[in-house]
């Protein structure tokens, strides 16, 4: 039922929220994602890494809906419309303040970072390949329901040196992806600077920073375990059946 005290004509959608270590919840405004931000993953996808080109250019961005998050180490239902669900383990930053008007200077960007986490940018790889071939948008490959499992968020004050952290994903106990945050092509401050040229960054935004090499399939019944160094962990299981 719509709240009779409001003028809403339908019930207001639930606000997506991510638990924060130490207590409380982080309400999600938007989810931005960065593509090809590790050279080894760009190569495995058949692209030349930006870091190996004469001009690094600008990062590639896409987005997921805020309610794509899955929290609390919950199960992830196998999505419809795909035979090729892929994992991409990624560092995640959570913004705790609005960016000031205009372009956010690189030197000021980290002041916006409230917390760190680890997430999966789940991808319908077959639909992405078809979209790439046709020059179509990536939305149906990236922005589907339950496509953004994310760990508890860890306040930035507790993360002394994020660029010393490693990123790992195992599936059914077997290592699948490994990377180091020092190998990001664009670091977090540079990503926030570039995003601010395109969007008004707000408190409540999550940014998935890109994945290292080793992306691969997830099948119904698979268990995944992701870690951002000793800072954050994410576990889950894929449920349901593939189409
Ligand atoms: Mn990704």
pLDDT in tens, 15-36: 999 999 999 999 999 999 999 9
Domain contains 10: no
pLDDT in tens, 174-220: 999 999 999 999 999 999 999 999 999 999 999 999 999 999 999 99
Strand duo 232-239 + 76-77: pairing: parallel
Distance CA 68, CA 33 (A): 12
Domain contains 71: yes
Give the torsion through C-alpha atoms of 192, 195, 197, 198, to 10 deg. Answer: -160
Identify the sign of the CA torsion 199, 203, 206, 210: positive
CA of 143 to the centre of ligand 1 (A): 11
Domain contains 47: yes
Domain contains 55: yes
CA of 233 to the centre of ligand 1 (A): 18
Domain contains 16: no
Three-state SS at 45: coil
pLDDT in tens, 142-170: 999 999 999 999 999 999 999 999 999 99
Domain contains 116: yes
**Total structural domains in the chain?**
1
CA of 211 to the centre of ligand 1 (A): 5
CA of 77 to the centre of ligand 1 (A): 19
Domain contains 6: no
Which domain does 190 fall in, by range? 24-239
Question: Can you give the CATH number for the domain in which 38 is found?
Answer: 3.90.850.10
Annotate 126-139 with b (16+ C-beta within 10 A) or e (fewer): ebbeebeeeeeebe
Domain contains 191: yes
The answer, as to whether pTM is greater than 0.75, is yes
């Amino acid at each position: 039922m719509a709240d009779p005290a409001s003028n809403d004509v339908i019930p207001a959608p639930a606000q997506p929220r991510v638990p924060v270590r130490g207590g409380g919840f982080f309400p999600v405004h938007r989810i931005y994602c960065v593509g090809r931000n590790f050279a080894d993953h760009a190569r495995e996808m058949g692209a030349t890494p930006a870091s190996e080109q004469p001009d690094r250019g600008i990062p590639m961005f896409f987005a997921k809906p805020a309610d794509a998050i899955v929290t609390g180490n919950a199960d992830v239902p196998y999505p419809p419309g795909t035979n090729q669900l892929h994992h991409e383990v990624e560092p995640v930053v959570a913004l705790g303040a609005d960016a000031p008007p205009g372009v956010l200077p690189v030197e000021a960007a980290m002041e916006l970072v409230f917390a760190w986490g680890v997430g999966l940018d789940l991808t319908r790889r077959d639909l992405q390949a078809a979209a790439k071939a046709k020059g179509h948008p990536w939305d149906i490959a990236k922005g589907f329901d339950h496509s953004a499992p994310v760990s508890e968020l860890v306040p930035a004050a507790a993360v002394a040196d994020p660029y010393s952290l490693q990123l790992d994903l195992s599936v059914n106990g077997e290592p699948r992806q490994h990377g180091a945050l020092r190998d990001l092509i664009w670091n977090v401050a540079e990503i926030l600077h570039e995003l601010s040229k395109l969007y008004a960054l707000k408190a409540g935004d999550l940014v998935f920073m890109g994945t290292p090499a080793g992306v691969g399939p997830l099948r119904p019944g698979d268990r995944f375990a992701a870690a951002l160094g000793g800072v954050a962990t994410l576990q889950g299981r894929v449920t349901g059946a593939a189409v």
